[in-house]
Structure 1
Amino acid sequence: MTKLKIANLDGRPEIFHSIQGEGKNMGQPSVFIRTSLCNLHCIWCDTDYTWNWEKTRFAHVKDEDPAYKKYQMDKMIISLTLEEIYEEVAKTGCKNIVLTGGEPMMQLQELSALIEFFNSKADDYFFEIETNGTLLPDATFEALIDQYNVSPKLANSNNPKKLREKPAAYEYFSTNEKAVFKFVISSENDLTEVLNICTTYKIPNQKVYLMPEGTNPEALKNKQQWLIEVCKKHQFHYTDRLHVHIYGDKRGV
């Protein structure tokens, strides 16, 4: 029986009805399915409960907080069948599904089975996936997915370049009509890195979305004007973090 590893939100799977807060479909009512597990370990990650397990040596900005502890892996994952996931999503009546994580493409075969199961129930589901762009899809998944939201990690993530930058994957997504690229920008150094990536992998400007780094409205606003001017200069899209403005830094919204 196919099961998907889902993040545990206070004893229930992190499957929630909200709006897409970022990127191409910003403002679109969506159901988010947050998978567990990740192949990268970003020092500022706001979903560190999907990978920062006990007895690992990964660093996180919260390490400075004496109350912060790494997570017990077995307590932070709920394994659900395809039927159980479908039942949760069907309650909402929403047909735009966002597969997020962690890194959802670590469970590629399970996700393909999930999409096929949903499509057997109705033919108007739309699936978009949030991915760090390090893993290539197989032919089955490529045929099923509707949109890739590729969010490459930069040097500020504290991941070694050999882990975060996979040339074959970047080249694949740069020419894929279903893919857009979303970069989190905190400083001018980040922008220089983004421009180098776009040049190296021939990523078209119209595929690129720049988003300010921040987990509260004030931090986002501080970077907003500068980043909008950057987007105007390079013909990139600007994207905000709409959910942060509406809900704040909270899970399950």
Structure 2
Amino acid sequence: MNTTSYKINELFETIQGEGSFTGQPSIFIRLQGCPVGCSWCDTKHTWEIDLDQQIPAAQMLAKSQETEAWSALSPIEILKVFNEQGFQAKHIVITGGEPCMVDLVPLCSALEQAGYSCQIETSGTFEVLTTANCWVTVSPKVKMKGGYPILTSAMQRANEIKHPVATEQHVDDLLALIAEHQINDTPIYLQPISQKKRATELAIHTCIKHNWRLSVQVHKYIGIE
């Protein structure tokens, strides 16, 4: 039995609203902890790991607002929660925070053995430790407050690259990353930051120019988590 535990801020079932799996019923596992420091982050409550904020799983599942509180659960306990909550989705999205701060092999192995598919959403600033079948979404965070570089190993492991954009500089940063890390056939999505009209127009124009894809955060437009 694997007793590795993971610090979980949220665990819920919804529809994936971004990237290649847009529209896919999914169970989100949001891990606590992230030192990257993205200025536009919409989950800043997951940044700090405060040991005094640990709470029982039942309280974590019952949270009605964003807090820094988290629960420690093993893969077996996570699967038990799925059963108890009556979740129907078979696709798992492991996000954060920054999920690749920890070894995700034990978690993804247990989930896959139980019949689930796994997806990780990472900033590309930590080594991706997961199973061979896990879908890895790298959303590269360039020149953020934390000062972490984008790793070649993460970029080349990516099954898709999903890049948030608001300015031409963000596009230039991505083009530089693609060249630096020798990315060729990986699907690339541009995601307008904060759904602003100017950012969306830039993303659409750039996608057409480079034959990339658009990710519009569908969940935010239809008002679900």
Does TM-score exceed 0.5, indicating one fold? yes
2:145 & 2:13 partners in 1: Cα distance? 31
Q: Which residue of 2 aligns with 1:179?
A: 159
- Could you tell me which of 136, 141, 163 is aligned with 1:153? 141
1-structure distance, mates of 2:40, 2:200: 19
Residue 113 of structure 2, aligned match among 120, 132, 155: 120
Deviation, structure 1 residue 26 = 1.1
The 8 Å contact of residues 111 and 117 in structure 2, kept in 1 or not, is answered as no
Which residue type is aligned with residue 5 of structure 1? K
TM-score where L is the length of structure 2: 0.82
2:6 to 4, 7, 13: 4
User: How many residue pairs get matched?
Assistant: 208
Identity in percent: 31
Residues 220 and 22 from structure 1, CA distance in 2 versus in 1: closer, same or farther, beyond 3 angstroms? farther
Contact 2:27 2:92 in 1 (8 A): yes
Shift of residue 2 of structure 1?
Answer: 2.2
Per the alignment, do residues 53 and 104 of structure 1 end up closer, same or farther by CA in structure 2, a change over 3 Å counting?
closer
Distance 1:36 1:174 in 2: 23
Q: Do the aligned partners of 1:205 and 1:234 also contact (CA within 8 Å) in 2?
A: no
Q: Which residue number corresponds to residue 244 of structure 1?
A: 220
Gaps of 5+ in 2: 55-67
Q: Is the partner of 2:102 in helix, strand or coil?
A: helix
The residue type paired with residue 245 of structure 1 is Y
Aligned to 1:130: 121
Structure 1, residues 167-189: CA drift from partner, whole Å, max 9, x if none?
Answer: xx32x34444x521111001112
The 1:158/1:93 distance shift into structure 2, 3 A limit, reads: same
- Whole-angstrom distance in 1 between the partners of 2:49 and 2:11: 21
- 1:126/1:146 contact within 8 Å kept: yes
Q: Which residue of 1 aligns with 2:61?
A: none
* TM-score computed with the length of structure 1 as normaliser: 0.74
Structure 1 runs (4+) greater than 4 angstroms displaced: 71-75
Structure 1 alignment gaps of length 5 or more: 8-13, 55-70
Deviations 1:53-98 (A, max 9, x none): 68xxxxxxxxxxxxxxxx9654622111322211222321211000
- Aligned counterparts, 1:25-44, within 5 A: 25-44=21-40
Q: Any conservation in 2 of the 1:17–1:31 contact (CA below 8 Å)? A: yes
